[in-house]
Amino acid sequence: MKGKRILLGVTGSISAYKSALLIRLLVKAGAEVQVVMTESAKEFITPLTLATLSKRPALSTFVSDQNGSWNNHVDLGLWADVLVIAPASAHTLARCAHGLCDDLLSAVYLSAKCPVFFAPAMDLDMYRHPTTVENLQRLESFGNHIIHAEHGELASGLVGEGRLAEPETIVQTLYRHFAFRPALAGKPVLITAGPTQEPIDPVRYISNHSTGKMGYAIAQAFARAGADVTLVSGPTALPLPDPFVRRVNVRSASEMYEATAAAFPSAAVTILNAAVADYTPAHPADRKIKKQEATFALELTKTTDIAATLGLQKRTDQLMMGFALETNDELANALKKLRAKNLDWIVLNSLRDSGAGFGHDTNKITVIDKDEQTHEFALKSKDDVAEDLLDLVEAELNKQPAG
């Protein structure tokens, strides 16, 4: 989203107040926002509010009231990377659908060469009316995108479809638009993330310091690129990384194996980022263990090696990426994993690298591919690391024969 130029059309709807939050989210994401308002939109939110948030004058007329300068609708249409009309009233939908051009916003729409998104907002009977339905279909037939209204309580007091999609939803839609990669479109991608917890008794467990941040960043990147993402997640406090991610919550290593093995056969790409316990208590107690003896011995048994097991099942049309967090002999240990587990890539983290590993918002990785070529990356945010991994996978997918 950084540096993207977004024209935001605001029309006469009670939902216009949400445009302020939408602008705030877009600017925070690094986008440049230029507001174009209809005259009726000013009845619901002031141009000053939108201008302050966007850091640009909110335009509504062909000629500026302040200095008489010309607000060129053609230049505006050419400037934008995307035009978003949110909220889009029934009146504006009808004008755009039928090419009426009697104000600045409709002129900008007709001039725009960029993708256009309409986010309708109105009362439920207006939204369901055959005229509105036909106008939305007509706009979509022109190649425009519709961010459909949501179900909920409306300004009229009725409950139903018609309320403007939440600003966060609109922003996510734009993220996916800009991040879309044809090679990933519809590809089933399986990702594991987070720690596992191995029960000692009903109160205690064995675990590790994984927060899930890296795996969740990867899931978000692939979902925004257009992949069909299944995220098998150990316990973490992180929210769903993207509304289009299917999350399967697990706790123990055995649960993670079962969920991953079930999804693996249909996955085109599998990324095993979770920090899975290597050992689990052999005999978990069914009651809380009381503190009595001075020493306490715990018998552990090996868990299923998920990467090795899936590596034996991997087909030639499947890609698999594993992770190795090492504290010593990093490259040697990573290469050993790459070969033994039939991986296409191994992503190496070293706990000796400052800012890398568990808990950080940054990471520093070295990726070794199946040809044992090494790709080194600088320390960067985990979101940016996820994009680097996405680049590697996309390049490999592009080598595969079509179909």
> Which of 244, 173, 181 has its CA nearest to residue 29?
173
DSSP 218-239: HHHHHHHTT-EEEEEE-S-SPP
List helix spans (H) across 225-378: 253-263, 306-313, 330-340
Crossing angle of helices 104-111 and 90-97, rounded to 10°: 40
- For CA atoms 245, 250, 253, 257, give the dihedral sign: negative
Burial 340-355 (b: 16+ CB within 10 A, else e): ebbbbbbbbbbeebee
Residue identified by tokens 């290597």 is 278
Q: Which amino acid is at 305?
A: D
Does residue 394 come out as left (phi exceeding 0), alpha (psi in the -120 to 50 range) or beta?
alpha
CA–CA gap between residue 135 and residue 116 (Å, rounded):
15
Per the annotation, does 370 bind a ligand? no
Q: Residues 7, 112: contact at Cβ < 8 Å?
A: yes
Per the annotation, does 323 bind a ligand? yes
- For CA atoms 291, 292, 297, 298, give the dihedral sign: negative
Per the annotation, does 278 bind a ligand? yes
Marked catalytic residue, from 71, 72, 135, 208: 208
First-to-last alpha carbon distance for the chain, in angstroms, is: 31
Per the annotation, does 341 bind a ligand? yes
Has 208 been annotated as catalytic? Answer: yes
CA–CA gap between residue 191 and residue 233 (Å, rounded):
8
Q: Using CB atoms within 10 Å of the CB of residue 199, give its burial: 0 to 12 exposed, 13 to 18 middle, 19+ buried.
A: middle
Rg, Å, the chain Cα set: 26
Per the annotation, does 380 bind a ligand? no
Binding site for CTP, by residue number, is 278, 288, 323, 337, 341
Give catalytic residue positions.
208
User: Could you tell me which residues are annotated as the binding site?
Assistant: 278, 288, 323, 337, 341
